[in-house]
Chain A
């Protein structure tokens, strides 16, 4: 098998700028992930400027191309899609393109890989860089061949006259030299009608390695001399360390206990020794800061002091519409705290020297994180190199940055490279969580059943402006200053409905914080907000005695929204029904259907979802029997990867809607494993039917988040259709459904 380690000499030679060599099978398996196959350090010293073509691309004498991407592949297939975009604009085959990702020494800072924007924004930067390069290369070829540019064409990196004749290749024109070009923001992009690579399914090059155990995750990375580290968190959040009995681990060979303030960790040569030392180490902690009573969570949020009022959107005069009389309806919706619940607990390897540091991490934002690490270690940022390696799927900021900070502090303390992998309890208990949502929605309906007024309000924790990084556990415990505050992503979006009601007002009541540390979790806030908006829309349709699909269509003008709704309705064979069906009180299994729609962030992807469910009266368990989805995300770069992302959104959406809730007692999180925090299992999985609306002439939009947002509404609406029970608090878990059915 391939050697997963690098030599100490190679490490030292490069002076903290490290050759990364992971155990990957030969051949094409790892070609797309250059940092796992090649000595990426041969590129050290290159520019990482995002306005330089050389920042993104290197054209080699052997005809291959290296793409340097600040956006990383978080398991989404971006590695294929980004290479497709470069291949298309450069006119070289995708197989010639190798990609290096998220390495602060080699790749441009394209911002965090987040917000479902990897392809939409990051990919467009890469296309512009490649288009700039192609135009310059054509000009160089024109000179070399003595022909006007207009006579020339490119075939797989070879430029020649359209009618045949002498040719010159990119390799001959460039041959590993710098291009010295500024990215032209207006460089003409290829006409979509001429796409040869974009829009076609491109095989993900990481899949063969991933199914054979050859793919190198950050969890699998090691360097010579590396120790295994584990951190020990207090039994209560905010607990301070009163004492450590190192003698309690004296029997375990070679264990080193590291204490920095309230930061406590162990390191050992062998991983199992580190694991059992962390379990066995006797430490005394203070009782902690205490947590509020979870049973009062939403009441506390409702009663919390508002630190800032924000009017998110208005149309017409909602107050006047409510004052005018007519029927009104009001309801409150509650969405729980949820965890990223990654399959692989977070992991990182750090090698911290007195004057420099290298950190291998699954971070979504190595450039930004480098600044945080530099501050943590008291080093200048240019002496810190952060290198992305695949983590376990994270769906937002799980524990990956925390694990890296843990490894960095331990490495600095012991003077050796240290690998830290969190335990399951660490990951479930200490990853930053999505915040709880409370929404209050009301509407006024006139005598013809038309909605004349809509008012939605959300109580949400206020984001701290300009916060560079979520406060991390390690510096917090070690007493190392870091900027304080909250962030959970753009959690206020889609509190306003996607429907053109004549009078509408949406408000956010920003409160100071919520009980647990927060971060962005896939489709931040919009899963919860859409649950409220789409559930309430169904309730309104009921009030108006209208079919839920026809009701929605009545209030949508955007043809792209109308199309996804019509597609789902057609595929489901949706027959309009103005009222819920009659429920047989004796039937053991109750069937129903539900519908929901989102225009993601009101300016991105359009998604409609239809669900069919079966509810077991005895247990209260909801089984999703069919899920139909139509999505319009503009240009579809890699249809198979887009489909995969939609599948993931839908299934994770089911999981979050039906099962997932972080629980806590008065001192700590208590949902710390897969039985106390259950997620979707294979038997829970319905067959998925997905239609993609391809619009090659439109810009690509995000696809990693949007489709998860209509799922809760579709399921809650299907539950109502099946049982007549309206649940306004998620998750719709069996006990909750059963209790509602019984009442």
Chain B
């Protein structure tokens, strides 16, 4: 059994220790908000926060994060009680197909934790590692800047 603390809850899973965290989150814990994008750590769709750091769950063996605390998109907020970042994405309608959205929001969360009031250029650099194919980039930047303002960083 591997113990994890996911979205504030202690969980135990019986999985091969080499199983990437992504599959454990999606299939063992039913947290399907985290998406498989490439399995290569290139696109960021599978981004989750482990100890506050944005990590690529598609390549991370679950045993490497045993006992650690992590947050997935479901743990950030809900439709009824969205996190300010999620609320800003709703306000800006910064979504098209939405497949990459959870990873982008968590990467943005990690970026704002580091730099609460980034410039647009800093933010674009911070999001360099997450891809969107629908072309929501402009809205995503607006949404994260809006969230940064409402979160009162800086």
Contact = CB atoms under 8 A, between A and B. Distances in A.
Interface of A: 1, 4, 23, 25-29, 74-77, 203-204, 206-217, 219-220, 270-273, 275, 341-345, 390-393, 395, 421, 423-424, 640-641, 644, 647-652, 655, 673-675, 679-683, 685, 687-688
Contact of A682 (B37, B38, B130): B130
Given A1-B74, A206-B98, 5 more contacts: A25-B78, A212-B74, A344-B35, A344-B45, A648-B136
Given A210-B95, A343-B97, A424 B23 contact: no
B99 A647 contact: no
A1 B97 contact: no
B137 A392 contact: no
Contact of B125 (A395, A655, A683): A683
A390 B95 CA distance: 13
> Counting chain A CB atoms within 10 Å of each CB, which of B76, B97, B102 scores highest?
B97
Given A1-B74, A74-B97, A212-B76, A685 B124 contact: yes
B93 A212 contact: no
Nearest to A362: B97
A390 B97 contact: yes
B73 interface: yes
Interface in B114-154: 123-125, 127-128, 130-141
Contacts of B45: 343-344
Interface of B: 15-16, 18-20, 23, 26-27, 30-40, 42-43, 45, 72-74, 76-80, 82, 86, 89-90, 93, 95-102, 105, 123-125, 127-128, 130-141
The 8 closest A-B pairs by CB, nearest first: A213-B33, A75-B97, A651-B135, A210-B98, A393-B97, A213-B73, A648-B135, A220-B32
A214 B78 contact: yes
A682 B98 contact: no
B40 A674 contact: yes
Contacts of B124: 682-683, 685
A423 B43 CA distance: 13
A25 B45 CA distance: 21
A252 B98 CA distance: 34
Contact of B99 (A209, A344, A673, A688): A344
A669 to B, nearest CB: 16
B98 A685 contact: no
A23 B31 CA distance: 10
Given A393-B99, A674-B40, A211 B23 contact: no
A388 to B, nearest CB: 13
Contacts of B77: 212
- Give chain B's interface secondary structure class: loop
23 contacts: A1-B30, A25-B79, A28-B79, A75-B95, A75-B134, A206-B95, A208-B79, A208-B86, A212-B79, A213-B32, A213-B33, A213-B34, A219-B36, A271-B23, A272-B19, A341-B133, A344-B45, A644-B136, A673-B38, A682-B128, A682-B141, A685-B138, A688-B138
B128 A685 contact: no
Contacts of B99: 75, 217, 219, 342-344, 392-393
Contacts of A345: 36-38
Contact of A213 (B31, B42, B80): B31
Given A76-B96, A648-B96, A683 B73 contact: no
A685 B133 contact: no
Contact of A204 (B30, B93, B140): B93
Contacts of B95: 75, 204, 206-207, 210-211
Contacts of B76: 212
Given A211-B82, A212-B86, A644-B139, A23 B39 contact: no
Contacts of B37: 343-345, 424
A23 B105 CA distance: 20
Contacts of A272: 15-16, 18-20, 23
Given A4-B30, A644-B93, A644-B96, A674 B43 contact: yes
B21 to A, nearest CB: 11
Contacts of B79: 25-29, 208-209, 212, 214
